[in-house]
């Protein structure tokens, strides 16, 4: 037990330790300050801007930035959909895979364009090597870079700067952040045993009977694996994701993946502090998602360590870890930590099956995706956190009679409407409405475990889509026309409506004239205001989803405790 808790603590310490350094580097990149990569990348970026016809120093308005995001993503969506439908005649297809069904291809294309990577397929038997690296791998970089670009534009707007140019931000997110780290990470992963090859499956005799052969799938996995985690993409090259020994062979690769998952979203809060010239406020804000993260880790880990009392009774033991659906290479502690990290960050990669977790884990993973700020999606999670901050400023100002201002700029009707629309309306609609339709038609749901757990399966699938997470509760028959199309609605609504709202909110803040602070100004860089913000997050973000939690993991926990599960 102690060893598991030590592993969890050390991983958290590593994440916190790299946060200020990485946050400062990201700030230097987007503030236009010099970095160590300038001599190599400056001429390359100038060539790219010239090729695309981008005026690098031309700033965009909120609507222009949003249109650039939507247009570019639409083009990429069509591009990768065509690759999927034509993969049977495209190269690098050693097993001769044909095109998937149109609805599966559409869902997969939307899923990867939105940085969700929700998979209703098994990678090694559905998509060719070309589809994996030219379509899915390509989107892992561009969708993650889109999220980072939106976050930077939002931070610029909050701090009174022009929003910048989307195409410049997209390019620099790839060339200066995602690609350099991915190159180093891929080489480390190859050295650790993750394959990187275009050769077909290897056929070997089985240990039980040398006369029987088994085909072992492989492919260009190592480079795919690092951007899967770093970009918070989460889509696995193989069907069982990071539980597969060729995606995650040992404790070292598991640790690198865990750190990579949280590295960018946690560091962006420090990046904000540098833009705002207020690192004190940044660290106070950082404490909110970090505290919730630690609480969910403890809750999940305790459930997995104690195990299922019904199973323990059958084994005649008082306590035994819940290892059903877990990789014994990682055990209860690393499985619980990975599950909370991947749903807190909206990565969605898994090294164990979330369907097998105790209700504690189901509660934590669902709550992470309901809140979306612990530490949230690639870039957009940071923006969500500050949207809550704006609401907290407004609510607190009303309660104590202080002027609702944030960073010297007044919070008025437009900002409150956009923040409220973003947090209180879009996310619940994208989850609860399709869930209600699916649960009302059991023949369409594909639930494998009727009852409280089955309800969690359905809610989890739409929550994962709307939160752009992509992980699955599994145990759900989701490779159907109904699931592919309805989940696509949640994917699109959960990604692009909030992005447009965030950019309009940032644009509105950037145009406001700063107001000098007075004795009536509400300070936002205090411990008290941090606690108030945490309360607003829990009240506004959690209570609207509490019925779903009560009917799912909470009810299941009572069922198990009563000994009838």
Count of the separate structural domains present in the chain? 1
Cβ distance 308 to 560 under 8 Å? yes
Q: Which pLDDT does position 137 carry in this prediction?
A: 94
* Segments of the chain with pLDDT less than 70: 379, 403, 423, 518-520, 564-565
**CB proximity list for 318: less than 8 A, separation 6 or greater:** 312
* Residue whose token pair is 């190269």: 91
> ∠ at Cα 98 (93, 103), nearest 5°?
125
For residue 525, is it within any domain? yes
Pick from 472, 17, 3: nearest CA to 259: 17
For residue 166, is it within any domain? yes
CA distance 539 to 396: 14
Q: Which pLDDT does position 370 carry in this prediction?
A: 92
CA distance 2 to 163: 48
CA distance 427 to 501: 12
For residue 212, is it within any domain? no
For residue 469, is it within any domain? yes
The domain in which residue 251 lies consists of 2-204+217-561
Q: Tell me the C-alpha to C-alpha distance, in Å, between residue 289 and each of 383, 454, 531.
A: 13, 29, 12
SS (H, E, C) 505-520: HHHHHHCCCCCCCCCC
For residue 211, is it within any domain? no
**CB proximity list for 437: less than 8 A, separation 6 or greater:** 486
Backbone φ and ψ for 405, nearest 5 degrees, come out as: -130, 150
Q: Which pLDDT does position 379 carry in this prediction?
A: 66
CA distance 331 to 5: 12
Cα distance between the two ends of the chain: 26
For residue 209, is it within any domain? no
Helices 413-420 and 481-510: crossing angle in degrees, nearest 10, is 160
Tens digits of per-residue pLDDT, 117-131? 999 999 899 999 999
Pick from 396, 128, 387, 153: nearest CA to 237: 128
Q: How many residues does the chain have?
A: 565
Cβ distance 390 to 406 under 8 Å? yes
Q: Which pLDDT does position 565 carry in this prediction?
A: 44
Q: Which pLDDT does position 415 carry in this prediction?
A: 83
90 secondary structure, DSSP code? S
CB neighbours of residue 501 within 10 Å: 23
Tens digits of per-residue pLDDT, 406-452? 777 888 888 888 887 776 788 899 999 999 999 888 777 777 777 89
For residue 48, is it within any domain? yes
């Amino acid at each position: 037990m102690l060893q598991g808790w030590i592993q969890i603590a050390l991983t958290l310490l590593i994440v916190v330790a790299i946060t200020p350094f990485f946050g400062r580097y990201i700030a230097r990149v987007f503030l236009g300050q010099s970095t160590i990569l300038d001599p190599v990348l400056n001429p390359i970026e100038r060539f790219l801007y010239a090729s695309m016809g981008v005026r690098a120093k031309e700033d965009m308005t909120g609507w222009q930035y949003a249109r650039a995001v939507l247009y570019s993503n639409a083009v990429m969506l069509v591009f990768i959909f065509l690759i999927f439908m034509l993969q049977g005649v495209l190269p690098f297809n050693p097993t001769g895979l044909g095109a998937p069904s149109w609805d599966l291809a559409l869902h997969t294309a939307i899923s990867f364009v939105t940085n969700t990577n929700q998979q209703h397929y098994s990678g090694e038997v559905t998509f060719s090597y070309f589809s994996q690296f030219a379509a899915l791998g390509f989107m892992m970089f561009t969708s993650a870079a889109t999220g980072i670009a939106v976050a930077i534009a939002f931070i610029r707007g909050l701090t009174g700067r022009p929003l910048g140019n989307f195409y410049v931000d997209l390019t620099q997110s790839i060339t200066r952040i995602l690609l350099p780290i991915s190159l180093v990470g891929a080489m480390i992963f190859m050295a650790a045993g993750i394959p990187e090859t275009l050769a077909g499956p290897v056929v070997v005799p089985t240990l039980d009977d040398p006369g029987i052969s088994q085909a072992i799938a492989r492919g260009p996995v190592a480079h795919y694996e690092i951007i899967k985690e770093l970009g918070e993409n989460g889509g696995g090259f193989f069907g069982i994701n990071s539980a597969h020994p060729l995606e995650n062979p040992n404790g070292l690769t598991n640790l690198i993946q865990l750190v990579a998952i949280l590295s960018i979203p946690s560091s962006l809060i420090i990046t904000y502090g540098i833009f705002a010239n207020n690192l004190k406020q940044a660290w106070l804000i950082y404490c909110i998602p970090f505290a919730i993260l630690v609480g969910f880790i403890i809750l999940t880990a305790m459930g997995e360590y104690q195990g299922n009392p019904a199973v323990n009774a059958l084994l005649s033991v008082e306590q035994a870890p819940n290892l059903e659906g877990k990789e014994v290479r990682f055990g209860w502690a690393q499985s619980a930590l990975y599950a909370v990290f991947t749903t807190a960050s909206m990565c969605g990669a898994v090294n164990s099956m979330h369907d097998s977790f105790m209700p504690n884990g189901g509660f934590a993973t669902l709550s992470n995706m309901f809140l979306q700020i612990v530490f949230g999606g690639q870039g957009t999670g940071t923006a969500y956190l500050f949207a809550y901050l704006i609401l907290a400023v407004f609510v607190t100002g009303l309660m104590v009679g202080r002027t609702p201002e944030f960073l010297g700029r007044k919070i008025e009707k437009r900002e409150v409407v956009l923040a409220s629309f973003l947090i209180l309306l879009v996310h619940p609609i994208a989850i609860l409405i399709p869930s209600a339709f699916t649960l009302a038609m059991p023949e369409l749901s594909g639930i494998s475990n009727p009852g409280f757990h089955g309800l969690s399966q359905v809610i989890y699938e739409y929550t994962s889509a709307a939160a752009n997470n992509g992980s699955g509760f599994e145990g759900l028959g989701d490779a159907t026309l109904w699931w592919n199309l309805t989940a696509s609605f949640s994917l699109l609504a959960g990604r692009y409506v909030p992005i447009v709202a965030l950019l309009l909110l940032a644009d509105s803040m950037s145009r406001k004239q700063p107001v000098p602070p007075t004795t009536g100004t509400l300070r936002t860089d205090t411990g008290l205001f941090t606690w108030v913000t945490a309360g607003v997050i829990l009240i506004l973000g959690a209570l609207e989803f509490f019925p779903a939690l009560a009917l799912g993991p909470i009810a299941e926990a009572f069922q198990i405790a009563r000994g009838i599960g």
